[in-house]
Amino acid sequence: MSILPIFTYPDPRLRIKAKRVEKFGKAIQKSLQDMVETMYEAPGVGLAAPQLGFDIRAIVIDISAQEEGAPGLIKLLNPEIVSADGEQIGEEGCLSIPGFVSMVKRKESVNVSGFNEKGEPYRIEVSGLLARVLQHEIDHLDGVLFIDRLSRLKRELFKKKD
């Protein structure tokens, strides 16, 4: 397995909408393992396949270092937000935008469906930090970065900083 370089803003590959995983097998499992190793090495709490140049709808998340009682490592393919409720505002950063954090508005709770690495249906309903990270990583699969969710003024300040 490998630790891979993470694409950083403004790399245009971060803006590509990833393709659904149609075949579940060893190649997908290897990509997921590379994603996990890269996320832990970075270190981060989540990583989406497009951040490493994989054109697949895959995310890995582990918030257990930040939150006691968290479910541990999650590997999710073709994740979709089925429902979302409430509102939370919290600080976000991104491995693809090193050195920049900002407050971002997200849904407080989400119900997400997808598949595990074996191609079996997977569903998770969560709130708080895990809901935030899921939304952030699923955004990556659609070419959306957290800076896109900032006010115009904050985006302009970020671009001038860059």
Q: Is 137 a catalytic residue?
A: yes
Q: What is the pLDDT of residue 133?
A: 98
What's the gap between Cα 112 and its chain centre? 13
The span from the CA of 137 to the CA of 124, in Å, is 15
Tokens of 51: 């951040």
Task: For the chain, give every domain's residue range.
Answer: 12-161
| Catalytic residue chosen out of the listed positions 68, 92, 137, 156 | 137
Superfamily of domain 12-161: Peptide deformylase (3.90.45.10)
Residue 132: φ, ψ to 5°: -60, -45
Cβ pair 9, 97 in contact under 8 A: yes
Tokens of 122: 């997977």
pLDDT, the chain, mean: 95
Cα–Cα distances (Å) from 60 to 33, 57, 69, 138, 149, in that order, read 9, 11, 18, 10, 21
- Is pLDDT at 33 greater than 70 in this prediction? yes
5-31 pLDDT, tens digit per residue, is 999 999 999 999 999 999 999 999 999
List alpha helices for the chain, DSSP H.
Answer: 26-41, 129-141, 152-161
144-156 pLDDT, tens digit per residue, is 999 999 988 888 8
Q: What is the pLDDT of residue 162?
A: 56
**pTM here?**
0.96
35-74 pLDDT, tens digit per residue, is 999 999 999 999 999 999 999 999 999 999 999 999 999 9
